Amino acid sequence: MATVSQPVLQTAHKVSILGAYGFWTARRTPRNQVEDAFNRAGIGTSAMPDIDHYDSLVEAGKKIVDKLNLKRRNTPVKFDSLSRTSIGVEFWRLHKADKHNTREPLFSIGITEQNEAFLVSHNAENSTVDAFAKTGVCDQIIDGLYQQEQLLMSARDVTESLRSVVVQHRGMSMKESGGVYFIPECGLQSVDTLFSAMNQCGNRCTLLQHDLSDNEELSKQVLETTNENIVEAARRMNEVMEELRDSDKKPRANGLKSRLEEASRLTDLLSYYESFFATNLDESRKALEQTLSLIAEMQIRYGDTD
């Protein structure tokens, strides 16, 4: 991994490093190792999402599929959420045909109020699944797998944790889909420490140093992306608030609060990057002024919302 410590030339003159490009490949990682990495970096664990029970059920179910040897070459095993109101996963086999595909139910798994997993067979004709479901240790096995999976963070949650930290340190996404971020000078030390700690628990996090003062093209890219991201974020908020205003719908208190917090974050980001590049981002400033005006209008019209 490229570190961000300032290199020293033989002449003893330090090279000015104003930023770095950061990216990573996350993997499923023990939650305690991720927590340790965040704590060692002095960041804390507030950016980490809570345990994903659905994801834990999915991974436990996949292990049951492997244990029972349910995979077939031309009939893959798929899964769906059972309900939007409860946590449960249904596994089924897809049978492909020329006219239409069919689903063969296999089993579903859910969790009790005590957070214990259980399995229900959905196909009495599938002797493998049905026999396993009727054994006295079925629920014990599935719950054991489920409890083990809760000790792990999915690659998706690891990525979300890292992204949150990068954003907190004024990092800027350089792609619409994320994946590559520019981290300015103010956040490099913290992010570098975190990336190094995450690498020690099996993830691949990289920072590539750049002296933007010596690279006009990179400076232009970062500045344009910053402006585009701020304008787009403000535009999305403005559209929602304009719709609420025009329909005279009272906004929720937490919704208005979260928009005010996001507007404050974007305002800080705008001020930092304008100072960073010694320029004005007029389009971003105009969009944010509209955002703050709409928030003020909502507050005046509705006062404290419920």
pLDDT digits (tens, 9 = 90+) for 261-274: 999 999 999 999 99
Give yes or no for residue 160 having a pLDDT over 90. yes
12 vs 139, more confident: 139
What pLDDT score does 16 carry?
55
Tokens read off for 48: 């980490």
Provide the pLDDT for residue 26: 96
- Judge whether residue 3 has pLDDT over 60: no
Whole-number average pLDDT of the chain: 88
Is pLDDT at 113 greater than 70 in this prediction? Answer: yes
Percent of the chain with pLDDT over 70: 93
Say if residue 296's pLDDT is above 70.
Answer: yes
Range with the largest mean pLDDT of 26-30, 79-83, 171-175: 26-30
**Coil, strand or helix: which one is 281?**
coil
Determine the average pLDDT of the residues in 101-123: 92
Separation in Å, CA 157 to CA 26, 27, 49, 96, 252:
9, 9, 7, 33, 28
| Predicted local distance difference test score (pLDDT) of residue 123 | 79
- Cα distance between residue 108 and residue 120, in whole Å: 5
Which amino acid makes up residue 5?
S
**pLDDT confidence tier of residue 256, bands split at 50, 70 and 90:** confident
List the one residue out of 124, 116, 118, 120 whose CA is nearest residue 108. 120
Listed in sequence order, the residues at least 6 apart from 161 whose beta carbon sits closer than 8 Å to its beta carbon are: 34, 38, 47, 48, 49, 153
Give the pLDDT band of residue 9 (cuts 50, 70, 90). very low
Which pLDDT score, from 0 to 100, does residue 165 have? 95
- How, if at all, do strands 181-184 and 172-173 pair? antiparallel
Mean pLDDT is lowest, of 24-33, 60-69, 251-260, for 251-260
* CB burial readout 121-151, b (16+ within 10 A) else e: bbbeebeebeebbeeeebbebbbebbeebbe
pLDDT surpasses 90 at 82: no
| Structure confidence at residue 304 (pLDDT) | 59
- Pick the more confident residue, 220 or 248: 220
**Rounded Cα distance, 63 and 148, in Å:** 11
Q: Of 8-17, 149-158, 220-229, 242-251, give the range with the top mean pLDDT.
A: 149-158
pLDDT score of 128 more than 50: yes
Task: Give this prediction's pTM.
Answer: 0.83
pLDDT: which is higher, 13 or 72 = 72
